[in-house]
Structure 1
Amino acid sequence: MRYKQEDGFTLIELIAGIVIIAIVTLVVTAGLGQLFRQSVDPWQQIRATEVGQSLMNEIMARRFDENSNVGNQYVRCSEGSGSCTTPAPCPSDGSTPNAEEAQRKQFDDVDDYNGLKLTGAQLSGSSPNRYNGFEALVCVAEKEANKLKRITVTVTTPQDESIEFSSVKGNW
């Protein structure tokens, strides 16, 4: 009596199938890896926007110049209360050359923020790890003598993407 040969796979066919599946899996995961990396970018950009907008709001709430009157007289710095302060070139080392006050919470005019550099721990406040890897640099430059100052906040994400926020503060 003859036995019917069973249908099945040979060892060579199994090995070839495993190799093909491994190659396809490698190609698919390599392609998806780029998508996974890019999916983090919007989150980092949103956090950078939070940092930039928060700093910009803080700075824009301050007066135009150290010599601007903050009383009820509304005297501009170039009119009777002394000349306006010209911001120094923006340093990148985190020093604040125009700051008359020693600490950030005491800054009272936009020039005090010139050169301010903050890193993750300084940006986080009560959430210790929220902005790890982020960095913010503030530059203040005179746009028009005694009239306008340009405030630029550059936020760098952990992926080294720099996002710049800019505003102009007027002397009025």
Structure 2
Amino acid sequence: MPVNKLHAKGFTLIELIVGIVALSGALLILTGVLIPQAEKSTNPWFQVRSAELAQSIMNEINARRFDENSPTSGELARCDESGGNACIADLPACLGTGPYAWVEETSRDLYDDIDDFHCLNVTGDKITNIENGSLQDIYRDFSVEVFVTYAGADLGLANKRAKKILVSVTPPKGSTISYSSYRTNY
């Protein structure tokens, strides 16, 4: 029976297969471009969160006195000045990990000078604010390490007149970002 051209509407099987192949190729290219961009779009967010966390830790550290032997009762002589106590000896290398790898104090609540933060290494639920409140919801899967060294020579001072505070923050995705500041014995 002859087919009327007006009634033969639609696509042939070959046209459908070519269309499916073309569509799948276009989707493959589209997802190959968009998915890596979506992952990269979180990097600035992690960098901002990292900077906020590091600044918070720096503020907490700089709110403490310079040295364990720094005067607290209004004395005029600072440690390592004539008439003052000697500053503590060089800080030891960090021997272990954990929140209290090397400290004079047994709890972060008792930290009273910059040196107490040396070797601080905290992650996840151990990241707290200055009032010891958990920041786990905000900084889940972040980790923080703090190192303190004498660094007066970096600033043209006697070596024990300044300390360098290095805060390294590792976000969940990405590499470690380090922040540093100097604190002088004032």
- On whether the aligned pair clears a TM of 0.5, the verdict is yes
Q: Is residue 92 of structure 2 the alignment partner of residue 78 of structure 1? A: no
Moved over 6 A (4+): none
Alignment-mate amino acid for residue 58 of structure 2: M
**Bigger shift: residues 74-83 or 137-146:** 74-83
Task: Summarize the Cα distance change of 1:162–1:114 in structure 2 as closer, same or farther, 3 Å threshold.
Answer: same
Alignment-mate amino acid for residue 82 of structure 1: N
Equivalent-residue separation in structure 1 for 2:95 and 2:150 (angstroms):
15
Matches within 5 A, 1:9-88: 9-79=11-81, 80-85=83-88, 86-88=90-92
Match of 1:139 among 131, 147, 159: 147
Alignment-mate amino acid for residue 110 of structure 1: I
Percent identity over the alignment is: 40
1:120: how far off? 1.3
Equivalent-residue separation in structure 2 for 1:10 and 1:60 (angstroms):
75
1:17: how far off? 0.5
Match of 2:168 among 154, 160, 172: 154
Q: Is residue 184 of structure 2 the alignment partner of residue 167 of structure 1? A: no
1:8: how far off? 3.3
Equivalent-residue separation in structure 2 for 1:61 and 1:122 (angstroms):
20
1:170: how far off? 0.5
Alignment-mate amino acid for residue 160 of structure 1: G
Match of 1:108 among 108, 112, 127: 112
Equivalent-residue separation in structure 1 for 2:76 and 2:19 (angstroms):
82
In structure 2, the residue corresponding to 1:158 is in which secondary structure? Answer: coil
Show structure 1 runs of 5+ residues with no match.
none
Q: TM-score, normalised by structure 1?
A: 0.90
Show structure 2 runs of 5+ residues with no match.
153-158
1:91: how far off? 4.7
Q: TM-score, normalised by structure 2?
A: 0.84
